[in-house]
Every structure is written in C-alpha cells, then in structure tokens.
C-alpha cells in the first residue's frame, strides 16, 4: 500500500520528450502542491531540457538513464511517477512503478493490448496506488461545462454524442519516429490522438458502449497504422456515439469538437467556446469560457488526488475503457483476430489498416 502523502507530492518524470514539456508547465503552476524531484530518459538532451524548464523552482532533478534505477535509487524520496513514454513502454513502466509502490500519472493510451491492460490492473490493485489517466481534454472548458449541463439535466436524456479531433500533419516517415510502426505505436492515429475524442465521448455519454462499428483508413500519413478513423458506438442507454478523428484533414467546417443532442436541447462547442440551445429556442446561447491550460489542470488534479486521497476523474478503469473499445476494432496485438470480438460488427477499410490511398 502506498504511503499517505503530506506536504508536497514528489514526482519522478519518466520520459522527458515533447509532452513532458507540457506537463512541466503544470508542475510550475502547482509548485506549492507537487514537484519533480527526478528525471528518467535515455536522452540526456531531453532530461536537460526539462531540468532547465523546471530550474526556477529550485528543486533538484536527479537524472537517470533507466527508470528502474530512478525507482530503486529514489526509493522513499519519491511518492509518484509521471509517465510520458512511447506507447509500447507504458506497460513495463507502469508495472515497475506500481511494484515500487508509487502513485502513477500516465499519458494515454493506457497500453497496447487488453492483455497488457489486465496485467496493469492487477499490479495497480495489488499495490494499492492511485492511477490517473492523463486525459487532459476532460479539463477542456467546453467538455467540463458540457458535462455539468448534461448532469444537471440541461438537455434531458442524451440521444446523440459526437466527438471529433482532426488536424492535418505533414511529416516524413523518419519524423514520425516511434509513431510510424505498429510495434511501438500499437496502431495508428486512433490509439494516439483518437484516444481524446474516445474518452470524451464516453465521459459525455455517461453509459457503457454496447456495440461498435468502425472504418479506418490511411489517406496521407507515412505510418504503418491508420491516419483516419470513423467510429460509431451504440451505448447501453440507447444513445448513439460518433467519433471522427484524423491526421489527414482538419475538423470539417461547421462542425465542433463535441456536439450532444438530448430530448430537451443540444450543446456543442470547441475549446473554450460552448453553445447551448434548449428545446423550443430558435438559436443557441454562446458561452465564452475562460481558457484553461488542460495539461496544467491535469497535473493540479493529480496533486489534489494524492494529497486529499481522492479518486481521479479518470483512473485505471477509464484509461482502459477506450483501449477496450479500440481493441474491438482490431487495434490490438492480434489485429485481425480482434476484429469482431464479442460479436461486435466491425468494418475496417481494409485488413490491418489500408495501404496508402492511390493518387
């Protein structure tokens, strides 16, 4: 069982690349509650960049080339870890951290396969540590406000939830790095950026998925997996969910990151902008919400959960939830075999993700 934390939570940052830089802004903003005391990465350059970013806080960020050394040598000087590694390393790092009795904040996705998710679940439960899924877009103002409106009955029963995250990326195969291969990425766009619209969809629908149907394709990106996914979900409460996510094109003009229709109205929006049209009103009211740095809010929430012994908004279960849903669409280790699991009707563009579209 992990120890109760008093004072500041002390964190080891494992993986010091791109997204770790965004997390560090959270450690700067919430320095009274949480601090990074050690770094682990195979890249000295990346550790130095994070150390420089956090230098103003006055803490000592001891550096390790191997996260196992960080866990062993930091011992009781560490309460938690923040894992920002490539996808294929999430499972081993989470399990090592849990076995060392450390609380865990881990980037999405939870891991690559359901088998891995089960092993993680066991380790986290056995260790009695807090696991928080780094689902930063739950803190996006339009998502947080929409959830409040739905929960207070503002649009009645939810009938349809749409969730989108699309943008166009131009990169060479080399620039895609570990994201280019199925072995290290665990899929394509859908296990990466596609995780965001998926956990948002579940959060807003407030129900378990019952049936899933998906089409994946690769239109433009030089990667082994898909770069675009269109997914349809039927929830146990009867609501329909739609996910559109892509690295090949932007969000279609006139549509929003989230759009929810209920029997008493609708809400839709993107980022800090939200529209709410109760049934019977001709036009929607527009709400401009205060901007939020979602990564900073996520780190602040992790600190509060550790210091107050609270359960995170999205823990292990919700982290595994999109993974479970994604694997039903053939995104796991056995991509062919996983399609159609549990009797779900799965339609992919082609087997094992499509070849590049002919031009």
Q: What is the binding site for ligand NAD (CB under 6 A)?
A: 15-20, 40-43, 46, 67, 84-87, 89, 107-108, 136, 177, 192
CB of 190 or CB of 344, closer to ligand NAD: 190
What is the helix (H) or strand (E) element at residue 161, kind and residue range? strand 158-166
Q: Smallest distance from the beta carbon of 22 to ligand NAD, in angstroms?
A: 7
Q: Which is nearer to ligand NAD, 17 or 271 (CB)?
A: 17
Smallest Cα–Cα separation from 261: which of 246, 274, 278, 282? 278
**Which residue's CB comes closest to ligand NAD?**
17
**Min dist. Cβ of residue 272 to ligand NAD (A):** 16
Cβ–Cβ < 8 Å for 163, 241: yes
d(CA 285, CA 307): 38
β-bridge partners, 64: 40
How far is Cα 352 from Cα 338, in angstroms, rounded to an integer? 11
Nearer to ligand NAD, 61 or 136 (CB): 136
Q: How does strand 80-83 pair with strand 158-166? A: unpaired
SS3 call for 242: strand
In the complex with ligand NAD, the residue whose CB is nearer, 35 or 192, is: 192
CB of 276 to ligand NAD, least distance (A): 26
Distance CA 181, CA 159 (A): 37
Considering beta carbons, is residue 68 or 236 the nearer one to ligand NAD?
Answer: 68
Are β-strands 80-83 and 103-107 bridged in parallel, bridged antiparallel, or unpaired?
parallel
Least distance in Å: CB of 106 to ligand NAD? 8
Least distance between ligand NAD and beta carbon 145 (Å): 20
Q: How far is the CB of 136 from ligand NAD (least distance, A)?
A: 5
What tokens were used for 290? 């205060």
For residues 44 and 264, which CB has a smaller minimum distance to ligand NAD in the complex?
44
Cβ atoms of 256 and 270 closer than 8 Å: yes
What is the nearest approach in angstroms of ligand NAD to the Cβ of residue 27?
15
Q: What is the C-alpha to C-alpha distance for residues 159 and 2, in angstroms, rounded to an integer?
A: 41
Q: Which is nearer to ligand NAD, 40 or 143 (CB)?
A: 40
């Amino acid at each position: 069982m992990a120890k109760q934390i008093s004072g500041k939570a002390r964190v080891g940052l494992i993986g010091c690349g791109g997204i770790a830089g965004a997390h560090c802004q959270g450690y700067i903003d919430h320095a009274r509650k949480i601090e990074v005391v050690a770094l682990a990465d195979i890249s000295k350059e990346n550790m130095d960049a994070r150390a420089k970013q956090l230098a103003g806080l006055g803490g000592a960020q001891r550096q390790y080339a191997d996260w196992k050394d960080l866990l062993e040598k930091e011992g009781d000087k560490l309460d938690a870890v923040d894992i920002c590694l490539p996808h294929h390393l999430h499972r081993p790092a989470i399990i090592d951290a849990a076995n060392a009795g450390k609380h865990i904040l881990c980037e999405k996705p939870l891991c690559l396969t359901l088998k891995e998710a089960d092993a993680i679940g066991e380790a986290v439960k056995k260790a009695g540590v807090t696991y928080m899924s780094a689902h930063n877009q739950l803190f996006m103002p339009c998502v947080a406000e929409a959830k409040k409106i739905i929960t207070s009955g503002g649009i009645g029963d939810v009938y349809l939830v749409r969730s989108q995250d699309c943008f166009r990326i131009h990169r060479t195969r080399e620039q895609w790095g570990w994201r280019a291969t199925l072995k290290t990425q665990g899929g394509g766009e859908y296990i990466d950026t596609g995780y965001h619209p998926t956990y948002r969809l579940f959060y807003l629908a407030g129900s378990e998925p019952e049936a899933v149907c998906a089409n994946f394709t690769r239109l433009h990106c030089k990667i082994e997996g898909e770069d675009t996914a269109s997914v349809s979900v039927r929830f146990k409460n009867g609501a329909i969910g739609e996910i559109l996510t892509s690295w090949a094109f932007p969000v279609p003009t006139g549509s929003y990151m989230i759009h929810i229709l209920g029997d008493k109205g609708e809400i839709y929006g993107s980022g800090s902008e939200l529209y709410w049209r109760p049934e019977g009103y001709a036009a929607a009211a527009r709400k401009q919400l205060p901007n939020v740095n979602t990564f900073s809010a996520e780190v602040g929430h992790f600190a509060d959960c550790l210091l107050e012994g609270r359960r995170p908004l999205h823990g292990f279960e919700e982290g595994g939830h999109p993974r479970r849903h994604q694997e039903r669409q053939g995104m796991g280790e056995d991509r062919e075999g996983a399609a159609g699991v549990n009797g779900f009707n799965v339609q992919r563009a082609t087997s094992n993700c499509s070849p590049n579209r002919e031009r």
